[in-house]
């Protein structure tokens, strides 16, 4: 027997279709039922890869006694937070107001019109862990609903008033955009760096991809890290490039050596439950791998680091192999659990490894990756590097290249064996915003490695979005699964998509890519813009909820307003349209309060601010034909200049684009040879031609 969720496309909702709970998806029918029967509403929000969501389902939503209470006295709604980020933002804010913290599964009790009056996260079925039992919570809520309705109404009114204010985000700074915020953010990151294990803060430890990207970009442009305020305190003064490089590289090295990184199949888990990156929360999210692939690719370009290139290749190859559907779209997540056990797919014991590698190779492998009979995780072993392979090779007195070859062979044998295990659950829905982040990751990976498969993957995802997520007559869908698109796209969908298109255009300059970017930008300006500055998370045509949020703060993904600013700034420079540039400035101004007061939550906005404050910079390589001078093209694209737009195009492409991309107007290769145009702040140098181009890249 199934409930209403059986008609949904979300894998998370489908996981609950056999629950005895009489679930509704979020729909008008649920609210009508609650009004007609005068029942409180229970809203449960989670996602497919969430371990504790699975636990609460098994303990409570499969429990006949608890289901009976819910069905008799409540109207219950189940929501996938990845499908409905608008709901997740609003009701998470309410839970944080009520409890001081939040997380998933999220549990909210509401009135008939969606006004929250009580909430929390995971509740066990009976009292334990210092938490009340879920059954007790339900009976207490029911008692309050029946006997203290007026108090609940007053509480919900107060919560909604606070929500409507809080969902607009921190107030904007009244003055000009200030470059000193960048220096102060750099100082904050240096001061909060874990000097022993890398990263920022203690357990649980998250990658902070946007902050790492900011550090890497500042290392490439040291002018942005000097605080020019003569009245700044010592804590606000600039930091040196070497300090920033130390923090960034230490963290990147520790993460890629830790258990948070999959040393066999590539890719990163969501976060580490300990401070030293050993024990991951084993779920793998598309967005984490997109953002981390980007930062490792940029670091590889900046420092010419082959180990970072290896991490990029392995992570993106994992996505191509395991997270891409047959049409080119990227899946959303892989679970932490397999066979009902968290991490079972990923852990090892020494006996398995000896069987696969033989005694001698196994002993060395186990020593390098900290595999022991006692285990390092609940009696089993998470593979992680206790020290870099180069140090191991030196201590053993062998060539580092030979050791790397041996370890790579061993890894492939173990990976092949692991593939025979029961895989974690796959959330195979395709989300526009997350796909856009991965397109950017693939593009940056291509620029770092010149591996064509990464560009091909980005182009495949681009075509998937164009063919399957287009929403007539204009616009885009948020999600797609098994041939069914649904839900109008949100701010982060359009913003991430626009930014990805401006990245893709720099390596694949076609009218189709630029036209898609212009379409996305125009929808942002027409449907999402707040007249007070910046952009709302929902469009003018979305369902009206109890509050309308503005996404100004980085979370596990970048702020929607910051990404809108990034894409609009790039597109404004490509098209020379002032309305795009002014909209970018408006989004930055809306984010200014966060940048000024909470640098740890504004990494993406600060990255864009650095570009906004820097002089315009363009480097354009014109080639006689598209297929010639591949090495020269790869070298120009690999250069890491975060403030510079870099285009590598053929004369034919330039001719097709000169009406829509003024940067290419009247620019062609000279004398049938590669020609490099370098412009800074609207002033262009004399073009470099033929051998001069090659010499300038050495």
| Cα-to-chain-centroid distance, residue 338 | 24
What average pLDDT does the segment 411-438 reach? 97
pLDDT tens digit sequence for 390-415:
999 999 899 999 999 999 999 999 99
What average pLDDT does the segment 641-645 reach? 95
Mean pLDDT of the chain: 94
617-696 classified as CATH 3.40.50: no
Confidence of residue 224 (pLDDT cuts 50, 70, 90): low
Residue that the structure tokens 């409905």 belong to:
84
- pLDDT above 50 (res 656): yes
- pLDDT above 60 (res 233): no
- pLDDT above 80 (res 449): yes
Q: How many CA atoms lie within 13 A of 501 on its CB side?
A: 31
Report the relative pairing of strands 645-650 and 683-684 from DSSP bridges. unpaired
- pLDDT above 90 (res 232): no
Neighbouring residues of 335: CB distance < 8 A, sequence distance ≥ 6: 48, 49, 51, 54, 282, 283, 424, 425, 426, 427
| Equal CATH topology for 180-338+427-613 and 617-696 | no
pLDDT tens digit sequence for 293-318:
999 999 999 999 999 999 999 999 99
What average pLDDT does the segment 125-143 reach? 90
- Superfamily of segment(s) 4-166: Glutaredoxin (3.40.30.10)
The DSSP annotation for 40-96 comes to: -EEEEEE-TT-HHHHHHIIIIIT-HHHHHHHHHH-EEEEEETTT-HHHHHHHHHHHH
Q: What pLDDT does 464 receive? A: 98
Within 10 angstroms of residue 372's Cβ, the number of other Cβ atoms is: 11
Among the listed residues 199, 124, 115, 172, the one whose alpha carbon sits nearest the alpha carbon of residue 149: 115
What average pLDDT does the segment 266-288 reach? 96
Q: CA 204, 209, 211, 212: dihedral to nearest 10 degrees?
A: 110
Tokens representing residue 638 in the block: 């690999």
- pLDDT above 80 (res 238): no
Which of 1.50.10.10, 3.40.50.2300, 1.25.40.10, 3.20.20.10 is the CATH number of 180-338+427-613?
1.50.10.10
Neighbouring residues of 625: CB distance < 8 A, sequence distance ≥ 6: 650, 651, 652
Within 10 angstroms of residue 403's Cβ, the number of other Cβ atoms is: 18
pLDDT tens digit sequence for 354-396:
999 999 999 999 999 999 999 999 999 999 998 999 999 999 8
CB 235 within 8 A of CB 304: no
CB 474 within 8 A of CB 545: no
User: What stretches of 192-240 show up as alpha helix (H) in DSSP?
Assistant: 209-220
Q: What percent of the chain has pLDDT over 90?
A: 89
| Range with the poorest average pLDDT among 162-176, 188-202, 312-326 | 162-176
Q: What pLDDT does 225 receive? A: 54
Domain ranges of the chain: 4-166, 180-338+427-613, 346-420, 617-696
Ranges of beta strands (E only) in 440-585 are 477-481, 484-488
Q: What is the Cα–Cα distance from 563 to 503, expressed in whole angstroms?
A: 12
Confidence of residue 234 (pLDDT cuts 50, 70, 90): very low
Stated length of the chain: 698
Task: State the burial class of residue 189 (Cβ atoms within 10 Å of its Cβ: 0-12, 13-18, 19+).
Answer: buried
Confidence of residue 327 (pLDDT cuts 50, 70, 90): very high
pLDDT tens digit sequence for 35-76:
999 999 999 999 998 888 999 999 999 999 999 999 999 999
Q: What is the Cα–Cα distance from 20 to 65, expressed in whole angstroms?
A: 10
Which 8-state DSSP code applies to residue 600?
G
Confidence of residue 230 (pLDDT cuts 50, 70, 90): very low
- Strand, coil or helix: what is 509? coil
pLDDT tens digit sequence for 512-524:
999 999 999 999 9
Q: What pLDDT does 96 receive? A: 92
pLDDT tens digit sequence for 569-592:
999 999 999 999 999 999 999 999
């Amino acid at each position: 027997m199934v409930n209403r969720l059986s008609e949904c496309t979300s894998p998370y909702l489908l996981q609950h279709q056999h629950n005895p709970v009489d679930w509704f998806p979020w729909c008008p029918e649920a609210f009508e039922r609650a009004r007609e029967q005068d029942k409180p509403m229970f809203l449960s929000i989670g996602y497919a890869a969430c371990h504790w969501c699975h636990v609460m389902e098994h303990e409570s939503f499969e429990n006949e006694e608890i289901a009976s209470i819910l069905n008799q006295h409540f109207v219950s709604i189940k929501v996938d937070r990845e499908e409905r980020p608008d709901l997740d933002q609003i009701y998470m804010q309410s839970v944080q107001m009520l409890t001081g913290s939040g997380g998933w599964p999220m549990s909210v009790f509401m009135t008939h019109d969606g006004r929250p009056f009580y909430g929390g996260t995971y509740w066990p079925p009976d009292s334990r862990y210092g938490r009340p039992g879920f059954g007790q919570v339900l009976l207490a809520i029911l008692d309050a609903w029946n006997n203290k309705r007026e108090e609940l109404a007053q509480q919900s009114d107060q919560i909604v008033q606070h929500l409507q204010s809080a969902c607009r985000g921190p107030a904007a700074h009244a003055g000009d955009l200030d470059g000193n915020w960048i220096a102060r953010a750099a100082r904050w990151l240096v001061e909060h760096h874990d000097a022993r294990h890398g990263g920022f803060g203690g357990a649980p430890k998250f990658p902070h991809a946007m902050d790492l990207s900011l550090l890497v970009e500042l290392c490439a442009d040291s002018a942005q890290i000097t605080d020019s305020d003569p009245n700044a305190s010592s804590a606000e003064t600039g930091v040196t490039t070497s300090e920033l490089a130390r923090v960034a590289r230490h963290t990147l090295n520790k993460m890629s050596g830790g258990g948070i990184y999959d040393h066999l199949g590539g890719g990163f888990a969501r976060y580490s439950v300990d401070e030293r990156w050993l024990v991951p929360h084993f779920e793998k999210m598309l967005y984490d791998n997109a953002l981390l692939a980007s930062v490792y690719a940029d670091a590889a370009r900046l420092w010419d680091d082959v180990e970072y290139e290896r991490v990029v290749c392995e992570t993106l190859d994992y996505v191509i192999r395991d997270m891409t559907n047959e049409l080119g779209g990227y899946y959303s997540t892989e679970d932490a659990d397999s066979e009902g056990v968290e991490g079972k797919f990923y852990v090892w014991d020494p006996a398995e490894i000896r069987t696969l590698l033989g005694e001698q190779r196994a002993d060395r492998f186990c020593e390098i990756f900290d595999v022991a009979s006692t285990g390092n995780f609940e009696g089993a072993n998470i593979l992680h590097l206790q020290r870099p392979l180069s140090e191991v090779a030196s201590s053993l007195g062998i060539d580092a290249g030979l050791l790397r070859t041996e370890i790579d062979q061993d890894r492939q044998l173990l990976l092949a064996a692991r593939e025979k295990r029961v895989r974690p659950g796959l959330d195979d829905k395709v989300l526009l915003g997350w796909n856009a982040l991965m397109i950017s990751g693939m593009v940056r990976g291509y620029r770092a490695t010149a591996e064509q498969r990464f560009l091909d993957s980005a182009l495949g995802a681009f075509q998937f979005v164009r063919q399957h997520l287009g929403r007539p007559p204009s616009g885009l869908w948020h999600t797609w699964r098994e041939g069914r698109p649904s839900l109008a796209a949100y701010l982060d969908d359009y913003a991430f998509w626009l930014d990805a298109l401006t990245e893709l255009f720099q390596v694949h300059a076609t009218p189709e890519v630029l036209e898609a970017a212009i379409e996305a930008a125009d929808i942002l300006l027409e449907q999402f813009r707040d007249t007070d500055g910046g952009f709302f998370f929902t469009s003018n045509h979305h369902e009206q909820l109890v509050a309308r949020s503005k996404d100004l703060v980085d979370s596990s993904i970048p702020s929607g307003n910051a990404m809108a600013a990034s894409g609009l700034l790039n597109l404004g420079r490509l098209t020379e349209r002032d309305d795009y540039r002014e909209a970018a400035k408006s989004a930055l101004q809306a984010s200014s309060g966060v940048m000024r007061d909470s640098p740890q939550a504004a990494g993406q906005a600060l990255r864009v601010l650095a570009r906004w404050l820097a002089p315009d910079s363009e480097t354009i390589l014109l080639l006689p034909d598209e297929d010639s001078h591949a090495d020269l093209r790869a070298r120009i694209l690999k250069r890491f200049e975060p403030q510079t737009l870099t285009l590598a195009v053929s004369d034919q492409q330039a001719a097709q684009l000169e009406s829509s991309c003024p940067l290419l107007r009247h620019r062609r290769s000279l004398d049938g040879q590669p020609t490099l145009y370098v412009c800074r702040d609207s002033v262009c140098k004399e073009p470099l031609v033929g051998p001069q181009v090659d010499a300038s890249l050495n």
